[in-house]
Amino acid sequence: MNSSFQQTGTSRKWSPAGTLFAMMVGVMLLGLASTAQADGYAFGLDLPLQFSFTGDLRGTAQPSGFKATLDTPFHVGVGAESYSVEADDAAGTILITIDYDFTDIYLWWRGMSFTIAAGFGTGGAAIQDYIVGADTFSADEADADQVFIALGWIINPRWEFHVGYHSIDAETDLKQNGVVTGAKLDLGGIMHSAGFKFIF
């Protein structure tokens, strides 16, 4: 098989983002322990700005989609993400599209002028079929997970601007003409996002 996606196999490793996530959770738990009153709700909307592939795909791409979040007064938030990324294969010869979807849960802490949030998301990554010569390559939807952090600046009592960093893991089996090849396709990457939050 001449597909440039062929790989002997990968194993998941504890990433620096995972360590940073654990540290952020510890900081926020300390902050919660010293906070007497509960904060209010906040609704956020983010756009994905940049996606850098770390697996079998190459380069940096401009994703399209959104991320919506809801902070609760209990310093726990929930979110949903859905976006698409167009990418080249490792040889730069094939343009493919990957769709990512996540359901998130996170912890947050708001100070006088800034907000810190860190969380975990789970979902899937689906790759569209692509053709190389006379062969059609495809893959089942990959189980995907991510850790993410966000840092926000409170513009006024109602509005916050924030940026986010997402570390994504996703892997699936590559198929050639509908038959599993034994090669693994790594769809992982790093995504940056930015958005606004309305505090009410």
Q: CATH number, domain at 21? A: 2.40.160.20
Cα end-to-end span (Å), the chain: 56
- Count: domains in the chain: 1
Domain containing 112 equals 16-125+142-171+187-199
What CA–CA distance (Å, rounded) separates 101 from 129?
Answer: 18
User: Hey, is 17 helix, strand or coil?
Assistant: helix
Burial class (CB in 10 A: 0-12, 13-18, 19+), 168: buried
The verdict on residue 134 lying in a domain is no
Please list the pLDDT of the chain residue by residue as tens digits (200 residues). Answer: 444 443 333 334 445 555 555 555 555 555 554 443 447 899 999 999 999 988 877 778 889 999 999 999 999 999 999 999 987 655 556 678 899 999 999 999 988 899 999 999 999 999 888 777 788 878 888 899 999 999 999 999 899 999 999 999 999 888 888 888 877 888 899 999 999 999 98
Q: How many CA atoms lie within 13 A of 177 on its CB side?
A: 5
What CA–CA distance (Å, rounded) separates 177 from 180?
Answer: 9
Phi, psi of 33, rounded to the nearest 5 degrees: -65, -25
The verdict on residue 177 lying in a domain is no
Contact 84, 191 (CB under 8 A): no
The verdict on residue 79 lying in a domain is yes
What CA–CA distance (Å, rounded) separates 93 from 96?
Answer: 10
The verdict on residue 112 lying in a domain is yes
Q: For residue 18, give Cα distances in angstroms to 149, 151, 171.
A: 10, 16, 18
Q: Which pLDDT score, from 0 to 100, does residue 89 have?
A: 58
The verdict on residue 110 lying in a domain is yes
The verdict on residue 104 lying in a domain is yes
Q: Which pLDDT score, from 0 to 100, does residue 2 have?
A: 41
The verdict on residue 179 lying in a domain is no
The pTM is what?
0.76
Q: Name every residue whose Cβ is closer than 8 Å to that of residue 85 and which is 6 or more positions away in sequence.
A: 51, 61, 63, 97, 98, 100, 189
What CA–CA distance (Å, rounded) separates 24 from 150?
Answer: 10
What CA–CA distance (Å, rounded) separates 150 from 148?
Answer: 7
Pick from 164, 148, 156: which is nearest to 198 by CA? 156
Q: Which pLDDT score, from 0 to 100, does residue 193 have?
A: 97
The verdict on residue 108 lying in a domain is yes
Q: Which pLDDT score, from 0 to 100, does residue 88 have?
A: 67
Phi, psi of 20, rounded to the nearest 5 degrees: -65, -40
- β-strands 64-71, 76-88 pairing: antiparallel
